[in-house]
Chain A
């Protein structure tokens, strides 16, 4: 399904960075709108926040925090690649970015449930 020339780890790192950025960009308007309800319709926001107590929603939040952390650590990896002297450990850096993202988002999830 993935074209053969793309099946190497650093291409997947690129894809994760792009898809996480896209996901976050699509999520943000909703996030901002909900927060603005704090002043215009606080009761509605409270109702929504109670809805987010559901485990399924917490799982979705887990995913979102993972996207944010992955995009952050992936972005730091990219800026290190571009502005610091070249490291021969590119695949390791990509793997570490995902690992830290997973750690941080799992910490969030475990605190959330």
Chain B
């Protein structure tokens, strides 16, 4: 002991969800407890030094792409933007795949349902002009443009989708991200599909299922407000109802 030349590295235990087929369970790994590390660093360490079979997603690792979204100690977060020291509780760190999505393997989820609902909610642009038509004149201070711009920075990371309890309990519910994008397009005067869009968001899986729990607002890393957007959709569908019944 007296002749120790190496410094002892502190370690911590991290529980990571492993799943390959029907066998989902948490497995514990001992990783170095560094002063400055993100949860993504920890996951990468496990895959690079302990178990190369661990599957996970990341890309930019600087909080711009949203690929590394996972459940960290029960909350949906971008792991590259989650400092271990901020979330570790009683020396426990638990990393799991995003909630409300099917698991492909370990920490990688199948994003197909998320994007299918994007399309189903008509969160897609319906062009009304050709290249031969004059450009739409939209000024930056136009209220509709401002509303659209406030909702537009969504990068489809599915953190809000994982946070939402209505998504969990209602398989048909489109979810906050799809409806938020739909709202941004409701405010786009170049879009030609408003009737189709309002019918979609007023349908069975649409905006009227939202209970305004605002978990999406709480967790969106881009500080978007899907609850606000969904409230806007509720107003628009209501107005459409009264316009129709004239």
A residues neighboring B (CB under 8 Å): 3-6, 8, 10-11, 14, 18, 78, 81-83, 86, 90
Contacts and interface: CB of A to CB of B under 8 A. Distances in A.
Interface stretch (B1-9, B116-124, B208-216): B208-216
Interface stretch (B41-49, B57-65, B194-202, B227-235): B227-235
B97 interface: no
B113 interface: no
B206 interface: no
B163 interface: yes
Say whether chain A's binding surface is mostly helix, strand, loop, or mixed.
helix
B212 A5 contact: no
A81 B212 contact: yes
B235 A14 contact: no
A5 B231 contact: no
Contacts of B76: 5
Given A3-B74, A4-B75, A8-B218, A78 B228 contact: no
B212 A78 contact: yes
A8 B74 contact: no
Contact of B75 (A5, A78, A81): A5
B188 interface: no
B235 A83 contact: yes
Contact of B214 (A4, A18, A90): A90
B19 interface: no
Interface of B: 71, 73-76, 99, 162-163, 165, 211-215, 217-219, 225, 227-228, 231, 234-235, 238
A5 B66 CA distance: 18
B74 A10 contact: no
Given A82-B234, A83-B235, A86-B231, A6 B212 contact: no
Contact of B215 (A8, A82, A83): A8
A15 to B, nearest CB: 9
A18 B213 CA distance: 11
Contact of B163 (A5, A18, A82, A83): A5
B235 A5 contact: no
Given A83-B235, A86-B228, A86-B231, A10 B219 contact: no
B194 to A, nearest CB: 20
Contact of A14 (B212, B217, B228): B212
B241 to A, nearest CB: 13
Contacts of A78: 212
